[in-house]
Structure formats: C-alpha cells, structure tokens
Amino acid sequence: MKSNLIKVHPEDNVAIALVNLFQGDQVEFEGENLMIISDVEAKHKISMVDLAANDKIYMYGVLVGKATEEIKRGGVLTVDNVKHEASQTFKKSEVTKWQAPDVSKWENKTFMGYHRPDGQVGTANVWLFFPLVFCENRNVELLKDVFEKEFSFHKSPKQRQLLRNLISGDDENTKIEFDEKESGVFDNIEVKFITHQGGCGGIRQDSVMLSKLLAGYVNNPNVAGATVLSLGCQNLQIDIFKSALEQINTDIQKPVLIYEQQQMGTVDEMLNTIIRDSFEGIKKANDIKREPAPLSKLKLGLECGGSDGFSGISANPALGYASDVLAALGGSPILSEFPELCGVEQELVNRCADEETANKFMELMKSYENAAEAAGSGFDMNPSPGNIKDGLITDAMKSAGAAKKGGTSPIQAVLDYGEYVHKPGLNLLCTPGNDVESTTGMVGSGANVVVFTTGLGTPTGNPITPVIKMSSNSTLARRMPDIIDVDAGAVIRGEKTIPEMGEELLSYIIQVASGEITSKADQLNQDDFIPWKRGVSL
C-alpha cells in the first residue's frame, strides 16, 4: 500500500507529507505506525524521531538544518522550530565513482538543428537586436516595432482583437478571426530584441561582465546573426564587446552588424541604414535549414524556480536523470544557481573531475557567500515566501533538492558568470538563484535549450533559447496549463519512476530542439533578459 509519507534517503530523520495530514492521524510508514501530532500540509516535513533543541536535521542524506526547540516524532517542521544549517566543505575528500545510465536506446537518436560554421548546432534560428548601453534602448524598441509589425513575429491576435472590440464598443467575446496575412514574411527565422539597463553609469567591471554576456548571446548556436547598437561614449565600448567575442570564439563567422549613433547623424538616417542592412542579413539567415545532429550537440540549461516541497523528489531528479543521459552521450548539461548549492558542496566537490576544478568551485562559492554576508544578507536568506509556504523552510533544504537537477555525473568544468561552455559533460556555472538572471546567464554561456522545473508556476522564458517548463505536481499542471509543458506529478502518485519520467522529458526536449513542438514560454513570447550585476543578487 502506498504511504502518505516519503523519505528521500535512508539516513534522513524527516519525511515529506504527500497529502494533507491532520493531528491524530495514524500513518503506516516503514513497517510502523506513526501518530501525526500536528496538522501538516502536503509538501511539508515531519520529524521521524524525537528532536531536542540543536539536534541536526537530515534530508537527502545531508545536513539541512537544526532544531531550535524540541520537536516530537510526528511533529511538523516550521520556520519557528528549525533554522538553516549546512555542512562545511574544505577540500576534495574522495573520488566519486559514476555509474552512467544505459544510453543504448539514445546513442543513434538525433535532433533537427541549425548547423553553424564553428560546429555548434542551434535549436532555433534567431536574428538578434540588442544595445551595448541602455541609451540605445529606445532605438531598439523602435526597430522592434517596425520589424514586428511588418514581419508579424510577435503574434498576439487574441489580445489585439479584444482591444479593438473594446475600443469600438463591440462585444468583447466576439469570435476572433485569425488573419492569414499574420503568418510572417519569412518561415525559417525569428527576429528577437533585448534591452537592458547596463553598459554605462555603473562600475566598469559590470560593463565588462555585460560584454561577456552579450558576446555569449551572439556566439550561442541559436543565433544566426546580430544587429548591435552603440551610442559611442559609454563604458561598454565596441572594442570591449569585440574583445569579449574574440575570447569566446576566435573565428566567429556569423554576421555581426555594429552601429554607433554618434558617428551616424540623425536617428532616421541611422535606423534606415540598420533596417536595410539587417533585412539583407535576415533574408540570408532564413535560407539556413534544419539538419540532423547528434544529441551531443545539446547544451542543456538546468533551472528551477517557484520551487515547492515536491520539486526535489519529482521534477528535479527526473531532470537530473535526463542530464545524466545527456552527459553520457557527450552533451553538456549546465547547473547554475550557486546560492542553491549551499549545503551540498562536498558532494559536488567530490564529483569534480580534478583538483583544479574542485578548487575553482569552492573559491567561487566562498567569494559569493562572503559578498552576500558583507551586504548584510547570506545564503540562508535565499528561500522565497513561496518556497517557505510550500515546505522549503531552509536554504540547505531547498539546495539539497535543487541540486538534484544536476544528476550524478562527474563535473567536467566550473565556470564563472560570463564564461562559455566548451567541455562536454556537466558544467557548473556561477549565477544567482534569481530565475531570470540565472537563465539569462546559462543562455549566455551557450545553452541551446533550457528545462525549468517549478512547483508553484513561473512564466519565465528567454529571447533566443526555448525554455521547457516541468511541473513538480499535477495540481499545478492543471491550474496553469498555458505555461507547463511536462508534468512530473506521476512520480508523486507512484505511477512513474524517476528514470521513466527522465526519459519522457528527454524525448520532449528532442522534439522542442527539433522545432516539432513550441515550448509554452515561446508561445507566450516570454522573452526575459536580466543581466546579473556583480553586486549581490540572491
């Protein structure tokens, strides 16, 4: 008989409630009857032993907190009786042996992608417009208005028709007729636009970091070419951007059109030139067709946001399994969100391929944590109100579940923010836990597809890379079907194993990468882009 509780690791002294439980309920678990001594909402944690004040709490086999007062067996863990605590990591203590999953069924699988001259393969074909400095945001927006109206890349006929009905006084529920003319001029290229608030006015280091991020977007295999706008006097000079691009790719062969307003006269003159040149580039990029590519060409961003108490036992480990399969095939999964790796550092350090990689990870983690503490914060303040409400009451507890996205494969490289993924296998990338900043960073490091797990529902997407949403529970999938692509709720119900769910997810990733399915985030035109300033952002 299926229990109403689940314990993730044999050494854990807490279990997760799979359903709402109430004071006085008797629950059979591990061959014993457990009396529930206080009401417990699904996803929250129940102590399986009597805990005294200062006793350590273990989940996923790692330290995730300590009791601040007595908690009886069968009692619920809350922010009032538990506080964050995590194990300390000092050095690589052992070599982790990896048992790779059986990938025989995947070895000959391919996806249909856009092959670039440098050997990378895109899952999308995008012409990208962006500024080097916020002063050019208005001009980017003017170009966006022109291109989207004429090319109809931004499709929102339902909303436009509703507004027309309201303005004219017609019934707002009048049936909407879709105009066939809105299908777009080109069928094999997308035009995307990003703006930002950086490039000048802050510290020079932020401009240099932004240059690396933007260079990564140009080098991303999903981008066929780019139009770049510069004012001329800003911190992020054109030569700094070109240098960043050169460091990532010494032989960039895709077209990169750069314009400096202070050298071009009036706005109209500049925009006319940009439109003519960009149109020619877009027309040529439209000729690039999808061709088969091995799964080793996938660089998979691993993200979670709006996490709940089920994320770490359903969606995240399923994504971790898919990550392991991809790593075994020579692909490149990318695990980020360093504040959400707090407490599992020792496991990750031991999985690093060598001492140099392990040391770089520890140095980046320590530097980030020190910066957070210097600003009067800390990793222990990472869980959001939504996380806490749904059972993730300490950062270590949240981190232990979040890290499951990275599976169990060896860590082949550790990258600082703005560095590009070049090695196959699992890569760790230093980013904040902030959903959009982290996703923005992974795409800038080369991710050509992202899977974003969520328990509460998050509408995040990206301008150039498809973002696939995976729900940790079926209630969310039913409530927000417009943003959820894959539902991992069958794992909670005991209907599917983690490997089965992981393989289902990988099949879906291949379909999205091939253009057979459009992710919900792309359907909603969810083009989020927020660069991380190297100040503290949790």
Whether 299 and 283 map to the same domain: the answer is no
- What residues contact 363, with CB distance under 8 A and at least 6 apart? none
DSSP string, 269-292: HHHHHHHHHHHHHHHHHTT---EE
Q: Is 119 left (phi over 0), alpha (psi -120 to 50) or beta?
A: left
Query: Within a domain: residue 384?
Result: yes
Question: Which pLDDT score is estimated for 161?
Answer: 62
pLDDT in tens, the chain (538 residues): 467 999 999 999 999 999 999 999 999 888 889 999 999 999 999 999 999 999 999 999 999 999 999 999 999 999 999 999 888 877 877 877 899 999 999 999 999 999 999 999 999 999 999 999 999 999 999 999 888 877 765 455 565 565 556 556 666 565 545 444 444 568 899 999 999 999 998 888 889 999 999 999 999 999 999 999 999 999 999 999 999 999 999 989 999 999 999 999 899 999 999 999 999 999 999 999 999 999 999 999 999 999 999 999 999 999 999 999 999 999 999 999 999 898 899 999 999 999 999 999 999 999 998 888 887 777 766 678 888 887 888 888 888 899 999 999 999 999 999 999 999 999 999 999 999 999 999 999 999 999 999 999 999 999 999 999 999 999 999 999 999 999 999 999 999 999 999 999 999 999 999 999 999 999 999 999 999 987 544 5
Query: Within a domain: residue 91?
Result: no
First to last CA, the chain: 42
Whether 440 and 363 map to the same domain: the answer is yes
Residue 27's domain is classified under what CATH number? 2.30.130.110
Query: Within a domain: residue 437?
Result: yes
Whether 457 and 483 map to the same domain: the answer is yes
Query: Within a domain: residue 529?
Result: no
How many structural domains comprise the chain? 3
Query: Within a domain: residue 79?
Result: yes
d(CA 489, CA 496): 9
Residue 394: how many CB atoms within 10 A of its CB?
A: 28
Handedness of CA 102, 108, 113, 119 (dihedral sign): positive
Quick one: tokens of 149?
Answer: 């109206």
Domain termination residue (choose one: 27, 58, 83): 83
CB-based contact 502:320 (threshold 8 Å): yes
Residue 417: how many CB atoms within 10 A of its CB?
A: 25
CB-based contact 403:335 (threshold 8 Å): yes
d(CA 12, CA 62): 8
CA neighbours within 13 Å on the CB side: how many for 470? 32
Q: Is 446 left (phi over 0), alpha (psi -120 to 50) or beta?
A: left
Question: Which pLDDT score is estimated for 155?
Answer: 52
pTM value? 0.91
Whether 228 and 255 map to the same domain: the answer is yes
DSSP reduced 3-state for 193: strand
Per-residue buried b or exposed e for 459-486, using 16+ beta carbons within 10 Å of the residue's own CB: bbbbbbbbbbbbbbbbbbbeebeebbbb
Whether 332 and 254 map to the same domain: the answer is no
Question: Which pLDDT score is estimated for 54?
Answer: 95
Whether 147 and 51 map to the same domain: the answer is no
Query: Within a domain: residue 138?
Result: yes
Whether 247 and 329 map to the same domain: the answer is no
Among the residues of 375-497, which ranges form H helices? Answer: 385-389, 395-402, 435-444, 474-479, 489-492
Going from the C-alpha of 153 to that of each of 157, 417, 432, the distances in angstroms are 12, 31, 31
Question: Which pLDDT score is estimated for 150?
Answer: 75
Domain termination residue (choose one: 225, 252, 287): 287
Going from the C-alpha of 363 to that of each of 91, 345, 425, 505, the distances in angstroms are 11, 11, 21, 34
Dump strand ranges (E) for 126-263: 126-131, 190-193, 223-230, 256-260
Query: Within a domain: residue 40?
Result: yes
Query: Within a domain: residue 102?
Result: no
Domain termination residue (choose one: 235, 259, 287): 287
d(CA 62, CA 400): 7
CB-based contact 415:429 (threshold 8 Å): yes
Whether 464 and 345 map to the same domain: the answer is yes
pLDDT tens-place string over residues 257-315? 999 999 998 999 999 999 999 999 999 999 999 999 999 999 999 999 999 999 999 99
Going from the C-alpha of 410 to that of each of 12, 95, 333, 423, the distances in angstroms are 24, 10, 11, 12
The parent domain of residue 27 ranges over 5-83
Whether 311 and 243 map to the same domain: the answer is no
Whether 144 and 15 map to the same domain: the answer is no
Whether 264 and 309 map to the same domain: the answer is no
pLDDT tens-place string over residues 44-82? 999 999 999 999 999 999 999 999 999 999 999 999 999
Whether 418 and 511 map to the same domain: the answer is yes
Is residue 238 exposed (0-12), middle (13-18) or buried (19+ Cβ within 10 Å)? Answer: middle
Residue showing tokens 């809350």: 78
Residue 217's domain is classified under what CATH number? 3.40.50
